[in-house]
Amino acid sequence: MRADARRNRERILDAALAVFAARGPSAAMEDVAREAGLGVGTLYRHFPDRRALVEEIAARSLQDLRDELRDLRAGGGPCWDVLSRTVAFCVGQPFALIKSLAEANAAPAGRLALQDEVDDLLMQIAEQAQREGAVRRDIEPREVVDLLSTVVCRPGARTDDALTKVVLDGLRAPVPAPVPEPS
């Protein structure tokens, strides 16, 4: 494979990640090409069709995520920190993409396995945080995961934005502060 071809393949992948993350997995191929500074022809040389491109990106992202979650769990530390670092890592990842892919039609078996693996890891992290009292126990672990995924998949989510902060605080508070009387 020629050097420029390899370079362009990477560029396409980067551009597609950005564009799909920003505009959803059905963004126009031409937009991806423009973002990469290439022609559509080049794009189709490297990936036979849109599905192939999306699939490659999804697989990469899931692998990154799986590896990161494994490390976080293996690293130990206070389970609350594991949870908030998980959130920090996930925010900004193109999950909305992966999620909408999951809903869409047939994914190859390899990716499904990855998705299950990631889901398991998240559930384990949530369960442990609850077991150790860092997260309130009046909601299901499944709900904790779903809720965090909602927070994290928002377009434009940031680690330090209001919703992220408020949700993390709400999760951590086993007994909410009493409602003060109007002053």
Partner DNA sequence: ATGAATCGGATATTCCGGTTCCGTTACGGA
Partner DNA sequence: TCCGTAACGGAACCGGAATATCCGATTCAT
CB of 160 vs its own copies, minimal distance in Å: 11
Q: Is the dihedral of CA 141, 123, 25, 107 positive or negative?
A: negative
Q: How far apart are CA 73 and CA 75, in angstroms?
A: 5
Scan residues 64-123 and list those touching its own copies (CB under 8 A): 78-80
Among 4, 122, 126, CA closest to 66:
122
Q: Which is nearer to its own copies, 8 or 86 (CB)?
A: 86
CB of 30 vs DNA, minimal distance in Å: 5
Among 94, 86, 109, 73, CA closest to 155:
94
Q: Where are the alpha helices (DSSP H) in 48-94?
A: 50-75, 79-90
Among 3, 5, 27, CA closest to 15:
27
Residue 58 in the binding site for its own copies (CB under 8 A): no
Which of DNA, its own copies, none lies near 173, with the C-beta cut-off 5 to 8 A by kind? its own copies
Which of DNA, its own copies, none lies near 134, with the C-beta cut-off 5 to 8 A by kind? its own copies
Contact set with DNA (CB under 7 A):
1-5, 8, 26-30, 37-42, 44-46, 48-50
Residue 171 in the binding site for its own copies (CB under 8 A): yes
Do 36 and 12 contact (CB within 8 A), yes or no?
Answer: yes
Q: Which is nearer to its own copies, 40 or 167 (CB)?
A: 167
Q: How far apart are CA 33 and CA 14, in angstroms?
A: 11
Which of DNA, its own copies, none lies near 89, with the C-beta cut-off 5 to 8 A by kind? none
Residue 26 in the binding site for its own copies (CB under 8 A): no
Scan residues 134-153 and list those touching its own copies (CB under 8 A): 134, 139-140, 143-144, 146-147, 150-151
Do 110 and 157 contact (CB within 8 A), yes or no?
Answer: no
Q: Which is nearer to its own copies, 101 or 134 (CB)?
A: 134
